[in-house]
Amino acid sequence: MKKKLTSFISVIFVLCLLICSFPVTVFSATDFVVEDGVLVSYLGKSSSVTIPSGVYAIGDSAFENNKTITSVNLKGVSVIGNKAFANCISLNTVTNTTDISSCGAYAFFNTPFQNSYADKTLILGSVLVRSTEKGDVIIDDKVVSISPYAFSGNSKITSVFIGDNVSSVGEGAFYNCSSLKDVNISKYVSYIGAYAFEGTSFLSSFKDTFLVLGNGILVDVNTTAATVTVPDTVRQIGAGAFYKNTIIKKVLLPESVTAINMRAFSGCTALADVVLPETLVLIDKEAFSNCASLKSIVVPGSVSLLGESVFLGCSNLQTVHILSSADISRGMFASCSALKYARLTEGVTSIGDYAFYNCKNLLEVAVPHTVRAVSSKAFDGADNVSVFVKKGSYAESFCTGAKIKSFHIGDANLDNDINIKDATLIQKASAKLVTMDFVSCLRGDYDFNGEINVRDATAIQKYTAGIVE
């Protein structure tokens, strides 16, 4: 028995020696900065990194310039941000990449891992991350999206076939592929980023007025006309499609258009007239930024998403009517120095940072009772603004705390009082006996539904009678 016990102890001792002979990486909870499932930065010193459970995304530049990391296990990760591992000059190995469905620009730039794919194509999960292939390229069937700048600067690619499985072609995907002449792209591609084909022979040889690719995406416009009528084959105005077109003054959009993508009309300094169709769902980031001749805009009720800074720097924009219930995004009207009046509609729940930043001439904004959050910086630089609100609303209490002038909605006749005269004016306008101007409508739209009608008159009568809804 003693002999058996001695043998058992010896075995245990040998096992302990074996286990201790292998390197064990121990991660501290403080090695990773994680916010809502996104790994924002890595503070550890280990060369071999396993992404913690519960992390679904690697944020922009999270590991950028880390010279220590040699391998990373991406189990559970589906999203990799811009420059996430850029300039990680020791990174040789990346494992467990099958879940990846989105990868940002230059995610693995200047790493041994990416550089090992010279004259090849790097695919992680369903994403084509980088390719330096030559000649005629056929995108692999397992690819669903092509990363931003995936082929950029590849002067040896001459043609590309993008099949039915691909749904997204990222910003600058083929930027400066100077020898690229032929592009065959599936009708199932639903997104093409800005500058996707900039600097290619394919784009420079295009002579027609409209270049429409994929699922009705207007990629480029070749015209010197002041008025442009977009054909009804177009479903999206592509990112940067009219970017810095200084000739166009008027654009007619068909009912087929559902999205206006990032910077689609940015820098169109002569654009003064655009009517947004009732079919529109998305207006993306900076879509109309720096359109210096635009004086008024109506955002239709069909819009469900407004990107950041949509009308940034529209220096002559004076009136805005938002019929959409989409939230007012960060910097949406920033530096619209001529803006005087803005009407928001019932359903809007928040107003973001710098939404009306530096709108020096902003006089009146109608904010509906559905708003439950307003950034403390929303009206920075709009020192003369008055906000029209419903009595007892969040917007009213916000204005009190922020020391912004507020008035109760309902003063349709602009006499600085809410009484039966306002209700009478609205009744007459509803019967088309009189016409109300923009400011009268802004103050008289008691229910914030974007219309002036008998319901507003009835609500004002109840208000004057002390029966506040």
Q: Average pLDDT, whole number, for the chain?
A: 92
Q: What is the pLDDT of residue 468?
A: 66
Contacts of 318 (CB under 8 A, 6+ apart): 295, 296, 338, 339, 340, 341
pLDDT over threshold 70, residue 351:
yes
pLDDT in tens, 287-316: 999 999 999 999 999 999 999 999 999 999
pLDDT over threshold 90, residue 3:
no
The DSSP secondary-structure symbol of 59 reads P
Q: What is the pLDDT of residue 29?
A: 59
pLDDT over threshold 80, residue 24:
no
Of the chain, the percentage scoring pLDDT greater than 70 comes to 93
Q: What is the pLDDT of residue 160?
A: 97
Q: What is the pLDDT of residue 281?
A: 98
Q: What is the DSSP string of 144-157?
A: -EE-TTSSTT-TTE
Q: What is the pLDDT of residue 467?
A: 82
* Average pLDDT, integer, range 38-62: 96
pLDDT in tens, 226-273: 999 999 999 999 999 999 999 999 999 999 999 999 999 999 999 999
Handedness of CA 234, 235, 237, 238 (dihedral sign): negative
pLDDT over threshold 60, residue 15:
no
185: β partners: 162
Q: What is the pLDDT of residue 329?
A: 96
pLDDT over threshold 50, residue 2:
no
**pLDDT-derived band of residue 469, with 50, 70 and 90 as boundaries?**
low
Contacts of 439 (CB under 8 A, 6+ apart): 341, 364, 414
pLDDT in tens, 426-467: 999 999 999 999 999 989 999 888 889 999 999 999 888 888
Q: What is the pLDDT of residue 261?
A: 97
pLDDT in tens, 54-85: 999 999 999 999 999 999 999 999 999 999 99
Handedness of CA 262, 212, 232, 188 (dihedral sign): negative
The pTM score is 0.86
* Residue 60 one-letter amino acid: D
Handedness of CA 4, 10, 15, 18 (dihedral sign): negative
Of the chain, the percentage scoring pLDDT greater than 90 comes to 88
Q: What is the pLDDT of residue 6?
A: 46
Report helix, strand or coil for 400.
helix
* Average pLDDT, integer, range 92-112: 97
pLDDT in tens, 179-237: 999 999 999 999 999 999 999 999 999 989 999 999 999 999 999 999 999 999 999 99
